[in-house]
Chains A and B, each alone.
Chain A
Amino acid sequence: MADREYGFRTRAIHAGNIPDQVTGARALPIYQTSAFVFDDTADAAARFALQKYGNIYSRLANPTVAAFEERVASLEGGIGAVATASGLSAQFVTFASLAGAGDHIVASANLYGGSITQLDVTLRRFGVETTFVQGSDPADYAAAIKDNTKLVFAETIANPSGEIADIEGLAEVAHAHHLPLIIDSTIATPYLNRPLEWGADVVIHSATKFLGGHGTTLGGVVVEGGRFHWANENFPKFDEPTPTYGGLNWHGIFGEYAFLTRLRAEQLRDIGPTLSPHSAWLLAQGVETLPFRIQAHVDNARIVAEWLDADPRIEFVNWAGLPGHAHHERAKKYLPKGPGSVFSFGVRGGREVGQKFIESVDLASHLANIGDAKTLIIHPASTTHAQLSEQQLVEAGVLPGLVRLSVGIEDPEDIVYDLDQALTAATKGN
């Protein structure tokens, strides 16, 4: 073992995967098994009581999934991670671990549509109220915090408005109330921004997107920094006897590891949205090239955004890398390598021209996803955000004519060529 802090690219490839002692397999083995044999009854009892480490059942932990978890934790600078079946389930287990009936969440109004409905429909039905804060001023978040608030939630780069969260400012607000700041960093990835370094306490990813990177596999991951003091008055569950585990006190026994240990031992146990070993393998493989892919993504995003911005057929471009974006300066601070490669723009001529534009692209794929190596395009108002009310659409920055682009890593001239020919087709006769 080297006495050295290895760099980001090295960790993207190696973290979490040490060659197997028995077989010497260099690639990550896929442990496609539901359960694991015990040595004896004492071993089984100690594993179930969390007194020792060991695999029990793949709903709780699996060696292939563990490799993906450790790799993402290493890249985010976290103490550890818990992987889940999807980004939305990563969010759900996190919210379920911290909030219950009668509790309150403060969240950005600029979230991904599925995140808004999770909070606004399902969690509200379970008795958890959410206040959605418009804009990104930390003072507005502070004003929304109530006595029963349990967490503050925002996205590093909002989807699809392109707004950038003031993570430092939000962390200050959350911590002043002894609350954790939870950041969805799906679009940024740890290559562009590591929220834990700016004061966030928990980072969530839809690994389906840039971490996996190839549009093949659903997954999510929760990373924790290990610095938040969970045993405060807002979270009595961390500092009282837990009957289902022999009266153990999460904070007392596990210290800085308490949040993630409890998330695994209680929320994965009871809710069960586990990442499959095969999916973990695909996602871990994707992470190996993360730094190279994301650099190519943001390089291409800059070329495409600047080209669109200069085109008279385009009304606006919501990419914070452009000087005209409201969060351009903030993007330079938090995302110096570039504010991601997912952004939206408006085609002149309104909804009809926008729809014809999407139907005319030939290289860009018309589908509901982001973070593929391929360029992806969609009309959010009628698809990903269709379940939002008119008011919520406006609050989330989703205008009727808005087109969302996830810039891929094809030759940038080819992406521009395709958008150009589609714009020509869409505006023909106008």
Chain B
Amino acid sequence: MAATATAELETVSLSNGLTCEVPSDSPLGKLLKSQRTWVGPNAKERLKLLRNAKSVAIVGASPNAARASYFVGTYLQQSSPYRVYFVNPMAETILGQKAYPDLASLPEVPDIVDVFRKGSDIPGVIDEVVAVGAKNVWVQLGIWNQDAAVYGESKGLTVVMDRCIKIEHARFNGGLHLLGFDTGQITARKTIR
């Protein structure tokens, strides 16, 4: 089961150097999607990232049960081994846990920062990630900002973008398979799923 971000906007770099945002599922958005050049970590690298992580902070987490971040938060709390933190300056508690105003307030440096913010906010989030010393930023499904991804990598971060951390964790841990989705996983080794 997937979870897309609340803000589904594609940041478009125009030839005159300006940028604008269009809905990522509009015809223009889809065309631009087909013209992407930045490629993030492959399945094996994403699996390694998820296996090595112990903690995840969700930036842009929402206390609203109908929002995608709520689905991801519930899944990570209950179906993953991670220590999960919620970051939202407007919320007191989310899913029974304290919500933090920013990454710097967390009790530890999270291994993965999972982001539910619109494309144009991503560079600012990356600066915050770098400032606290986290190493991996995961930009959720439906959010794309290629320049920000390149910028994050230039700062030494591993960047995953336009993917859902819930789907990717479930792809390697059986959840996706349980609902009949193709995981792309083929192995003759005993595997938790």
Contact = CB atoms under 8 A, between A and B. Distances in A.
B47 interface: yes
Contacts of B3: 253-255
B78 interface: yes
Interface of A: 1-3, 6, 10-11, 14-16, 18-21, 24, 26, 42-43, 46, 49-55, 61, 63, 65-67, 69-70, 73-74, 78-83, 229, 231, 241, 246-249, 251-258, 260-261, 264
Contact of A61 (B4, B70, B178): B178
A168 B149 CA distance: 36
Contacts of B25: 229, 231
A406 B15 CA distance: 59
B177 A16 contact: yes
Interface string B68-99: 10110011001100000000000000000000
A43 B74 CA distance: 10
A254 B178 contact: no
Interface stretch (B100-108, B119-127, B180-188): B180-188
Contacts of A82: 180
B16 interface: no
Contacts of B79: 52-54
Nearest 6 pairs between A and B by C-beta? A53-B175, A69-B180, A80-B181, A51-B74, A255-B4, A257-B2
Contact of A43 (B2, B66, B78): B78
A3 B185 CA distance: 10
B185 A18 contact: yes
Contacts of B193: 18, 21
A10 B188 CA distance: 11
B186 A73 contact: no
B70 A51 contact: yes
B2 A254 contact: yes
B4 A20 contact: no
A19 B188 contact: yes
B186 A252 contact: no
Interface in B155-193: 164, 167, 170, 172, 174-193
Given A2-B186, A21-B192, A79-B181, A52 B74 contact: yes
The CB with the most chain A CB atoms within 10 A, among B71, B172, B191, is that of B71
B1 interface: yes
Interface in B128-144: 141-142
A247 B65 contact: yes
Contacts of B181: 69-70, 73, 79-80, 257, 260
Contact of B44 (A3, A26, A50, A54): A3
Contact of A247 (B43, B66, B174, B184): B66
B42 interface: yes
19 contacts: A1-B172, A3-B44, A14-B186, A14-B188, A15-B186, A18-B188, A18-B190, A19-B189, A24-B190, A52-B74, A53-B75, A53-B176, A61-B179, A66-B177, A79-B181, A81-B182, A229-B25, A246-B66, A261-B2
Nearest to B4: A255
B55 interface: no
